[in-house]
Structures are given as C-alpha cells and as structure tokens.
Amino acid sequence: MPAVRVALVGVLALAAVALTVTVGRLVTLDTTWRTWLIDRRSPPLTAVMTGITTVGSTPVLVAVAIGISVWRLAGHHPREALLVGGTTAGAVVLGPLLKSVVERSRPGDAHLVLVNSWAYPSGHSLTSTAVIGVLTALAFRRPAAGRRRTATVTAGAALVVAVGISRVYLGVHWPTDVLAGWLIGASWLAVCLLMFSTSGPVRRGSPR
C-alpha cells in the first residue's frame, strides 16, 4: 500500500507539472468552456454559485480546519489535529506561492466577484481539495461511518467540484486554473495522508 500511495503522489504531481507546462496552448479550450458556463448564468444559479464559492474560500475553510483541529485535540487525537492543520496550512501557502511563480492573468471580463491576485492555480480549488479532502478522509476512517462512507466521499468530492465550477461560472478563472488547483491540492493531500499513514502514533499520557 505505501508503494501505491507514493505512486499516486507521483502521478498527481506529474499531471500538475504537465498541465502547467502546456497551459499556454489550451487557450481555445479554456475560452470555449468558460463561455459555455457564463452563457448559462441566471439570477438563482448565480446566487447558488456565489454561496458555493464562499464556502470554498480560504477564510471559511481555515476556520473550519481550526475548529476540527481543536476538536480532535480535545478528544486526544493529536495526530489527526496535526494532519488537518498541516494540510490546511500547506494549501494556504502553496496557492499564493504558485500564483507568484506562474503569474497568469485572470480573464478580463464578466467577473461577478472581486479578485486581486493571479489566476493560476485557482486558490479556491486547491484549498478546498486539500481541506475538504482531509476532512473526508478522517470521516472515512471512523468505524461508525459504516455504510455512510460512500455518501461521505461522494459529498466531499461533489463540493470540491462545485467550488471549482463556481470560480469559472463567476468569471474569475479559466477552467485550467481550476483543474490545476484540483491536481495540486490532491497532490498535497496525498503527500499529507501518506505521511500520516506511515508515521507512528504520538504517545499520550494516561487520561486524568
């Protein structure tokens, strides 16, 4: 299993690198997909997409991650708290860092929300993939999850996808920005889960 997980990290990372190298050649596809989504705007759908993009924003996800980390610490699960905190912190740092390296401009029109940073990769997509992914993984590990595991994974994946789509719908990203965010976020998540699974449990004192 460790070998499979390492291979998964490698595949995701290579896919992210390949996309970054070729993104300049995908302008036609980017424009086509973005235009298709924007053409389907409506007031009710815009309200839904705005709400989804808010859920996938860094402040909201960081607040959720902090809350979960504190909860796991209080429940004497420091490794899980560290996993959530470390995954979130890394994602929050990776997004702006990669944006400053690639320096891809955002689409120039049809913005429905304010933005003031580079486009690639989508920070919402990257961070939501990492944070929602790690929370989904922890929920999946719980014995009580039982048959709800499939529903948990499906719901987590659907939310991540919805956040990414919302960014294109709202006009502030190219589709490849979002795809890169998903790939990089998944790569970072896979690294964190690999480290978590291969590290030993932290020794705890006897409960008082």
124 is catalytic: yes
How far is residue 116's CA from residue 60's CA, in Å, rounded to a whole number?
18
Which residue from 5, 12, 1, 204 is spatially nearest to 126, judged by alpha carbons?
12
Name the active-site residue from 76, 77, 111, 124: 124
CB count within 10 Å of CB 162 equals 18
DSSP character for 41?
Answer: -
Q: CA 165, 171, 177: angle at the middle one, nearest 5?
A: 60
Which residue from 163, 131, 132 is spatially nearest to 52, judged by alpha carbons?
163
DSSP character for 145?
Answer: G
In the block, residue with structure tokens 């504190």: 70
Residue 76 sits at φ, ψ, to 5 deg, of: 65, 45
Residue 107 sits at φ, ψ, to 5 deg, of: -55, 145
Which residues are designated catalytic? 124, 173
